[in-house]
Structure 1
Amino acid sequence: MNMQKSFQHKILKTLLVFFFLSAFSSIYAGEVFEIEGDPGENDLRLLSALNRLTYDRVLSDQNTKGFAFRYVSKWYSPLQIDVLVLGLAKREKMSLIRIESSKKGAEKVFRNFLQEELNKKELTGGLGIYNSPDVSEDAKFQPYRKSYFWSESLALVQPAASVFYNSYKSPVYAGSDRLKGMFGYIVADLLLAGIGYYYATTTMEKNSALESYFLKPTASGNVLDSPGAPVFIGLLILPRLYRMIGGWQDTYTHNRIMEISVSKSF
């Protein structure tokens, strides 16, 4: 009994570490830019631009974290964004806008989108910086859509492979997003599988030499036939389910970015 409780505590700690690592990369993330007008003047314009980007899946949040205004994507939105607006005390009629998302690349994309929407530099519905002469030819690529089928299928086989697929030539990922994502899933997959396998082996029946001698039916010795097999399988499935959700969000965000003609390099 004590062994089972100890093992349950280990599983809980492992899961907490896994979800902490998956969210850690966004703690210090964020893209910032300034815009003319105080936060109140830009309120409706900013909300309108965000809803255009997310198809009306953004709302104002009363929990502003000390900022003047805050806009967050709705819980069911595959495109995750958190926008914080603050008035500049030393500069009248100026606002500071901070964009946060789960990927650095996505933050840069959303920053440029909002800059052009709010400053009305482009009226074509896309981002002019994609065709800007100061963007190198090597940094540009032909827009193409990602496949939900491949992203979800790879997530079932190996979550890290799904991260690689979604990050390849995608503006959603930038900097170390790909390496951190792949490394995190590989470590979590090995750790959870190891813990599950260990637990399953501790629940297996021991075969005595005497039973084998008298040809009595004995346990197969297969981990999947042990009483702890459901725990082992469940821990294998957990990171895959988690990545399937992340892969769906990454694929949607990439395809939406391609629709508004956004480049990766800013």
Structure 2
Amino acid sequence: MKCSITAVVLLSIASQIHCIDWYTFTEQVYGGIQTGLSQLNSAAADLNRTINEQQDVIVNSIEDVTRYINASLAGLWSRYPTFKLTTDQLYDTTYYTTYVRDVSENYRKSVTNNVMIPAQDIVRNILSTMVNFYSSTFNTCSEQKAMSLSQASASVGRLKDCLSMAHPFARGLASTVKSLMEYAKAGVQVVIDQQKVCSLSSRNCTNKYFADLPDQLNKIISAIADLSSLPYAFVNTGGPINKGCVKLISLDVQDILQNIANQMSACQ
């Protein structure tokens, strides 16, 4: 009877130890998922800031061309008071700035969805593996294998790297547009400087210059609209690369989780 009581006590202690490990295991897995999701949210916020900043760079660089034209025309007004051409009488660049914002917004949504939707599958797979562990024979071997569920290589947070890969394409578009707008400003300066070829006494030359000036400036402005295909040169490259990254990491995590499940099963 004494031995039986001792055996019951030992079993009770063992059960308590396993119970503590059980909850520790659960907390580790859920904690790992929460950490991974937090990493994803942080990476998504960083990408959001980058895209917003690069949008502003693009819009400001395009608007800077308009400001540059206005300043250049003001210089002509001071020398020729009767000449009153303003950018209001020239082509508008609002379409392109709106267009760039729309393309950037679509890129943001596409990249984020490419990551966040598969992230849900990874979380479900982690939880499924954990549930299978609960239904298996709980022993030291299976416990050791199951603890691998909280390792970094099996974390949903790994998908943050795919969001980071989207940054260069957003920055590349902005830096390219900004560079091209510098060329546009240089072109404006060339057109403005053409007036200097006219002698003060040559009315015909001056009249011809001012008659042609709106068309010359509009050619430069319309070249901005011709850049409408440029955003897709970056977005159409960055999108598939982002999606490919997600697929690779998802498959890697899936194999890791399956390996953990197989190892736990082998412990039976």
Quick check: which one's strand share is greater?
A: 1
Higher relative contact order, structure no. (Cα contacts within 8 Å, ≥ 6 residues apart): 2
TM-score, length-scaled by structure 1: 0.30
TM-score, length-scaled by structure 2: 0.30
